[in-house]
């Protein structure tokens, strides 16, 4: 009789959507043994401990830290916030996991853009290129890896901060997406998919899962969904990219690497690169993806856009 596996979740105190934290919570709700790796001790680490998870502090770019975090674990979720050291962290994790040799499943948090990339791609952000290279590194490693590729998350700064701020001020989503269509996915759906795959590895039928919202639509349609959720009329204003960058994006004072990533996501939306729909969320979790209304009502930043 096999003992229950122990799970390692990296990036467990991460930012956008807090997918790692939600994976920890979902696993703990099932009574699973979880070790959460965080970069520093703070209130987020304390919150993870309240779930009953073991919390360890470490740096994913330091192999000794990764080896110590892996010790005793059979399954792992690799996740890290947008960072110029993303690829270094992934390569270090791959090397450490090979040395450790005890994983029967590693789930890599990638992104949908990778599905449309090749070695000759040039239009993506540095972060997106690092995700593409990370997938190559994990595949070359020979580890038992599965990649999950969410499209843009509903909690992405483009929506959670920039769009929410313009809705609060103008009752309009001001973004430079043109008539591009998109299918954002809720972080909760991503976390549920990851947690389900971690707990039922035998159910995996593919090496890659692509996670989107239920439909792909333009921003005018999404503004209509926000209208229903907020109980007032919200419109979409297609702002010229340069004007939006100068007046909206620069005001956020984002670090250069993150700034480049968010700006590139806006350009790729206008180029219709996010016009994708997959049924993988429903296939794995057993329920349809959450709607924008669900996300707006559950997200404090969006629900207070009034």
Strands 181-182 vs 217-218: parallel, antiparallel or unpaired = antiparallel
* Window from 76-80, 160-164, 266-270 with minimum mean pLDDT: 160-164
Rounded to two decimals, the pTM is 0.93
For the segment 274-281, the average pLDDT, to the nearest whole number, is 96
Task: Provide the strand spans (E) within 87-199.
Answer: 105-109, 145-150, 172-175, 181-182
pLDDT at 283 over 70: yes
Which residues is 105 bridged to in the sheet?
75
Q: Say how many CA atoms lie within 13 Å of 246 toward its Cβ.
A: 5
b/e sequence 8-22, b meaning 16+ C-beta within 10 Å = bbbbbbbeebbbbbb
Taking 60 as the threshold, does the pLDDT of residue 305 lie above it?
no
Helix (H) or strand (E) holding 126: helix 126-141
304 pLDDT band (50/70/90 cuts)?
very low
Confidence of residue 113 (pLDDT cuts 50, 70, 90): very high
> pLDDT digit string (tens) for 31-74?
999 999 999 888 989 999 999 999 999 999 999 999 999 999 99
Alpha-carbon distance of 226 to 300, in angstroms, equals: 14
């Amino acid at each position: 009789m096999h003992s229950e596996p122990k799970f390692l979740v990296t990036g467990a105190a991460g930012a956008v959507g807090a997918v790692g934290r939600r994976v920890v919570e979902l696993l703990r709700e099932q009574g699973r043994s979880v070790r959460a790796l965080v970069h520093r001790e703070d209130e987020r680490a304390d919150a993870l401990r309240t779930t009953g998870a073991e919390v360890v502090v470490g740096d994913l770019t330091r192999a000794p830290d990764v080896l110590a975090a892996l010790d005793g674990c059979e399954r792992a979720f690799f996740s890290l916030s947008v960072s110029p050291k993303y690829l270094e962290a992934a390569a270090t994790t791959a090397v450490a996991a090979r040395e450790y040799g005890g994983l029967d499943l590693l789930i890599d948090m990638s992104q949908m853009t990778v599905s449309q990339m090749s070695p000759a791609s040039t239009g993506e952000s540095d972060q997106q290129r690092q995700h593409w290279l990370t997938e190559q590194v994990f595949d070359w490693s020979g580890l038992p890896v599965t990649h999950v590729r969410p499209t843009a998350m509903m909690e992405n700064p483009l929506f959670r901060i920039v769009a929410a701020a313009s809705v609060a001020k103008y009752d309009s989503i001001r973004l430079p997406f043109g008539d591009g269509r998109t299918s954002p996915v809720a972080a909760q759906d991503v976390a549920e998919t990851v947690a389900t795959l971690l707990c039922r590895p035998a159910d995996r039928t593919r090496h890659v899962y692509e996670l989107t919202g239920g439909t792909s639509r333009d921003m005018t349609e999404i503004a209509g969904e926000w209208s229903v959720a907020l109980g007032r009329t919200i419109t979409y204003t297609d702002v010229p990219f340069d004007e939006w960058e100068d007046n909206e994006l620069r005001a956020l004072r984002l670090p250069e690497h993150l700034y480049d990533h968010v700006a590139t996501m806006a350009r790729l939306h206008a180029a219709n690169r996010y016009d994708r729909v997959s049924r993988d969320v429903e296939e794995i979790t057993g329920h349809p993806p959450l709607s924008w209304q669900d996300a707006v009502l559950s997200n404090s930043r969006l629900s207070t856009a009034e």
